[in-house]
Structure 1
Amino acid sequence: MHLAFPSRKTSNPPQYLPSRTPRFPTLRRSRVQAFVVGALVVGAVLWLISSISGGGERIPSGTPPVVIVTVVDEESYGQAYVKNVKENRREYAKRHGYTTFFPSVGDYDLGGSPVSWAKVPACRHAITKFPHTTYIWYLDQNSFIMNPELKVESHIMEKKRLESLMIKNQPIVPPDSVIKTWPHLKGENIEFALTQDKDGLAQGSFIVRRGEWAKFFLDTWFDPLYRSYNFQKADTHALEHIVQWHPTILSKLVLIPQRTLNAYNPAYYDAKEGQYTDGDFVVRFAGCDTVGRDCIKEAEPFSKQWRTIFYAR
């Protein structure tokens, strides 16, 4: 029987082999390090300069700060009425360097939902069409801008102005909704401004700040799930639903006094704090498309009035 013996170690171990010479000499390596450090320093300086000078997105020269979006329905209201509405918006926009966007109610696939939903994809479309504009102002077709001197920025959206206008701790759906507007909201955090009427959120005139939050908000509002709920007031009730159930939206929303942005025709609205008064920014004929009312007739006296104000010289 053979026994296994451990192999014998040699008494002459191999000599120590030094490690390879570095690929880069020490001098060259120090130069690379110096270059990297220098690049980082230059990058930091450029970032600092950019921050001091405004930084962020660079808005091309000539970009309108506000786009007024109005979805028009010429088939139902007639060419003359729609032409009048467009002229009103264009004349106002011209004074302040704004622009207008007039998609048709038939431009969007609403999947069988009421046509009032068209405002939502229209605003989303405007964000794509005007990628550098700061504010999207949606203004319903059944309304006129009445005070051409007021600017969206200074009259409403400037931070301090918003803080002076905001209605804090207000039930989203009056009079007793348990979900209320935030009491400590700051002007710089606001992305969405609108008003209430006596029934709830009034989305016939609202302003949204263009950006990623606005895209998220509009996409959420237009979600097929909400459109399939068959809310009694369609997009209005859907908006109230998502505002109350999504803190991400509520935390960026501000309610402002109704007459600041969305005064109603006093002949058909009995809440005095929301009735149009001469000098107000906007008048809307809210509900004029319901049985027993006529939008074209209701618009006539205000049409004459806005023309007198705008073209007075």
Structure 2
Amino acid sequence: MHFALPPRKTSRPPPYLPRTSRLPGLRRTRPKLIALAGLFFFTLIYLVTRSGSEWNAVPSPRVPKGNPPVVLVTVLDASKYNGAYLETVKQNRLQYAEKHGYKTLFAKITEYDLAGSPFSWTAVVAMLDALSKFPDTHYVWFLDASGFIMNPNIKLEDDIMQPAKLEALMKKDFPVVPPDSIIKTFSRLKGQDVDLVLTQDQEGLSSGSLIVRNSEWARFFLETWFNPLYRSYSFQKAETHALEHIVQWHPTILSRLAIIDQRTINSYIKGAEGDEYQEGDFVIRFPDCALIGPQACESQSLVYLQAWRRAFAST
């Protein structure tokens, strides 16, 4: 009797055939993917075009109202100048400020914590203090105690800082530190874009008379200048040499800097290392008098004390 044999198993498996059960699922999810892509696209368009909304708005910088137009800052250092001389300096500043509706800030060297830095750094922190106390001022003018305002008719915001006037005064493509610094002032800087006005004497930049426009940039500049790193470094002329350093090596500061003729805001008495004062100039300074002794500034200034009083009385 013959029985049917079972089918023999082959050693060759059948070729692999991919499952087709995923294709219906893919077909089912394709509309969802298209809908998500469309939603993403329209969301992107919405975000790009809603520039006027609060979500995407960039806060506008605060614009000072110009009240007062200028704050005149002077540091009173009784260790360098005698009391009688400092009193004439205060009178000089107060009378000039009253004439033009400006405010004054007289800082004492013991008023701020300098963390052991030389007292000359008081000038920088005093300017920061002026911006805090007078947030609506347009300009801060620092003029140190070694001099007088001689021409009361010159108005800072009109005769110097007005953009067209300032642009005519600016020295463009000019060495920042004389005589041959490779770092130069910007050649295309416009008057309305200037936030810092300086002068030079024969030794370099002068920090004895300078003007800062009130802005966020001004705070950045002064805080950079007052950085503990610079105050702890043994610069020969402390804050003045620190100023020369940051102006030359920080493009953000150089880009807002204008250097003007020294006699515009910073004339020197005869014999000092700078442009000599001439009658009619805005300011006269005695930058070396404190090095001689507290009485020297008073003696050097006597002639000019009478001159500025006559000039103020006639206006």
TM bracket (short chain): 0.7 to 0.9
Distance 1:43 1:223 in 2: 38
The yes-or-no answer on 1:289 pairing with 2:295 is no
Corresponding residue of 1:7: none
- State the aligned residue count: 260
Corresponding residue of 2:23: none
Relative to the length of structure 2, the TM-score reads: 0.78
- Indicate how the Cα distance of structure 1 residues 227 and 148 shifts in structure 2: closer, same or farther if over 3 A, else same: same
- Structure 1 segment 1-313 matched on structure 2, within 5 A: 57=63, 59=65, 63-266=67-270, 268-269=271-272, 271=274, 274-291=275-292, 294-312=296-314
Distance 2:193 2:223 in 1: 20
Instruction: Note the residue ranges of structure 2 that are not aligned, 5 or more in a row.
Output: 1-49, 55-59
Relative to the length of structure 1, the TM-score reads: 0.78
**Displacement over 6 Å in runs of 4+:** none
How far the C-alpha of 1:269 sits from its partner, in A, is 2.4
Q: Give 1:205's aligned amino acid.
A: S
Instruction: Note the residue ranges of structure 1 that are not aligned, 5 or more in a row.
Output: 1-39, 45-50
Q: Which digits, 9 at most, give the CA deviation of each residue in 1:21-51, with x for residues without a partner? A: xxxxxxxxxxxxxxxxxxx9x999xxxxxx9
User: Could you say what secondary structure the match of 2:160 adopts?
Assistant: helix
Q: Is the 8 A contact 2:85 2:297 kept in 1?
A: no
Q: Give 1:269's aligned amino acid.
A: A
Q: Which digits, 9 at most, give the CA deviation of each residue in 1:221-240, with x for residues without a partner? A: 01010011110111110000
Distance 2:193 2:281 in 1: 26
Let me know the Cα RMSD of the aligned residues.
2.3
Distance 2:262 2:93 in 1: 20
Question: Larger Cα Rg: Structure 1 or Structure 2?
Answer: 2
Q: Give 1:152's aligned amino acid.
A: L
User: Could you say what secondary structure the match of 2:197 adopts?
Assistant: strand
User: Could you say what secondary structure the match of 1:290 adopts?
Assistant: helix
Distance 1:115 1:296 in 2: 21
How far the C-alpha of 1:260 sits from its partner, in A, is 0.3
How far the C-alpha of 1:209 sits from its partner, in A, is 0.6
Q: Give 1:281's aligned amino acid.
A: F
Distance 1:176 1:234 in 2: 22
Q: Which digits, 9 at most, give the CA deviation of each residue in 1:160-187, with x for residues without a partner? A: 0111000011111111111111111111
Q: Which digits, 9 at most, give the CA deviation of each residue in 1:65-93, with x for residues without a partner? A: 00000011235423221111111011111
Distance 1:289 1:90 in 2: 22
Q: Give 1:166's aligned amino acid.
A: M
- Indicate how the Cα distance of structure 1 residues 198 and 58 shifts in structure 2: closer, same or farther if over 3 A, else same: closer
User: Could you say what secondary structure the match of 2:148 adopts?
Assistant: strand
State percent identity of aligned pairs: 52
How far the C-alpha of 1:59 sits from its partner, in A, is 2.6
Q: Which digits, 9 at most, give the CA deviation of each residue in 1:190-221, with x for residues without a partner? A: 00001011111011000001111011000000
